[in-house]
Amino acid sequence: MPTPLVDFLAGYASGAVGILIGNPLDIVKVRIQNGGRISEETVPLRQERGFTNWTKSALRGVAAPVLGYGALNALLFGSYSWWLLKLTELKDNGSVLAMNEGWRLFWAGTLGSYATVPVSVPTELIKCRAQLVHESSLQAFKDVMRNDGIKGLFKGTVITAIRDSFGYGIYFGSYGMGKKLLDVNETGLSDIRGVCKILFVGGMAGCLSWASIFPLDVIKTRYQADVSNVYSSSLDCARRTFALGTGVLFGGLGVTMIRAFGVNAVQFLAYEVMVDILSTEKA
């Protein structure tokens, strides 16, 4: 089992890689969830003419999440690793709070998620604003600070914490049990079969996690993107969004599943590669 420090460093690297790969489709997801449609206004490839303009559009809003999500992923993986060690110690010591492996993985992910909230809330808020309205994360940040101050950066804290606590529990639980089911630890990165297994299990973990919390993510996105303060609270946003029906609650699910599989497949592979490198150097 990697140490929390190794997981922290590997998490940062894999998080940055994941954002660079997934940002173009994330733009589509955010705009659909906020009431947009897949059209020339939504898909960067259609919106921009020429490779340079397409690249700028596809990477819009990427600065904040590359820096923020790298830190977020580092906190997430490091905190997850720490909680997993503590929960494993309970089992080894015969505590009445001991639980089986699947539940240990789930609860380590759930408890570990709370360490990311101070980073994930402002990072995702700026990302949403940049992708919907502005050309850069810096401009989105300046506007939030000018209009709402520090408090504005943490709009949506409660619903983000609820979303992440369950979503990351599913994320780490399904990845850990998937690795066990496919005997990934036996092959590791030693051959192409091991690499393919990691890609598959990582991709499926991402899909299961996003599918489990997607309506919550829609509500969070709509609430954080609300620059006119239409919603009085995240609960008010949830009530109004539910009233619009399943078409809104699950808008963008297809795009999200495609993105989730690809991003998390590569992200977990990057994580495993970094863990292998860091563990070897430490040894």
Domain extents in the chain: 4-282
Which tens digits make up the pLDDT trace of 26-81? 677 777 777 654 334 334 444 444 444 544 444 455 555 566 678 889 999 999 99
pTM of the entire structure?
Answer: 0.84
Q: What CATH code would you report for 4-282?
A: 1.50.40.10
pLDDT of res. 65: 59
State the DSSP string of the chain: ---HHHHHHHHHHHHHHHHHHHHHHHHHHHHHHTT--SSTTT-HHHHS-SHHHHHHHHTTT-HHHHHHHHHHHHHHHHHHHHHHHHHHHHHHTT-TT---HHHHHHHHHHHHHGGGHHHHHHHHHHHHHHHHT-S-HHHHHHHHHHHHHHHHHTTTHHHHHHHHHHHHHHHHHHHHHHHHHTTHHHHTTSSHHHHHHHHHHHHHHHHHHHHHHHHHHHHHHHHHT-TT---SSHHHHHHHHHHT-HHHHTTTHHHHHHHHHHHHHHHHHHHHHHHHHHHHHH-
